[in-house]
Amino acid sequence: GAGVSQSPSNKVTEKGKDVELRCDPISGHTALYWYRQSLGQGLEFLIYFQGNSAPDKSGLPSDRFSAERTGGSVSTLTIQRTQQEDSAVYLCASSPRAYGYTFGSGTRLTVV
């Protein structure tokens, strides 16, 4: 597609439920990133995928968070047993090479 697509754009879930957030990067972009944006906290790095290399998971805040990237394209971020502190905007970005990020519009997650 023309840009990075994220779905859903908004998600409200009950505490304790699992959620899946999807990112469809720009075709041909080998690098894919997930960030979390909390109110007043700026952007927090979560995970990134680069080609066939092992992902850098160093930013995942707990083992309730996981992500996959299938076929070098679409990525899914999964949050298990959601907590209220997981409420945030989850942003995905992709890049064809170094330092050319394109961000999606994000998924706003609200845990009630």
Secondary structure of 40-104 as H, E, C letters: CCEEEEEEEEECCCCCECCCCCCCCEEEEECCCCCEEEEECCCCHHHCEEEEEEEECCCCCCEEC
Interface with other proteins by CB under 8 A: which range of 19-27, 61-69, 79-87, 97-105? 97-105
Q: Which of 69, 95, 109, 111 binds other proteins (CB under 8 A)?
A: 95
Smallest gap from Cβ 107 to other proteins, in A, equals 11
Q: Which of 51, 44, 46 is nearest to 25 (CA)?
A: 51
104 binds other proteins (CB under 8 A): yes
33 binds other proteins (CB under 8 A): yes
Binding letters toward other proteins, positions 52-71, x by CB under 8 A: ----x--x------------
| Distance in angstroms (rounded) separating the CA atoms of residues 36 and 86 | 9
Interface with other proteins by CB under 8 A: which range of 20-28, 48-56, 66-74, 77-85? 48-56
Q: What are phi and psi of 103, to 5 degrees?
A: -95, 150
AA letter at 108: R
- Sites of contact with other proteins (CB under 8 A): 4, 30-31, 33, 35, 40-43, 45, 48, 50, 56, 59, 91, 93, 95, 97-99, 101, 103-106
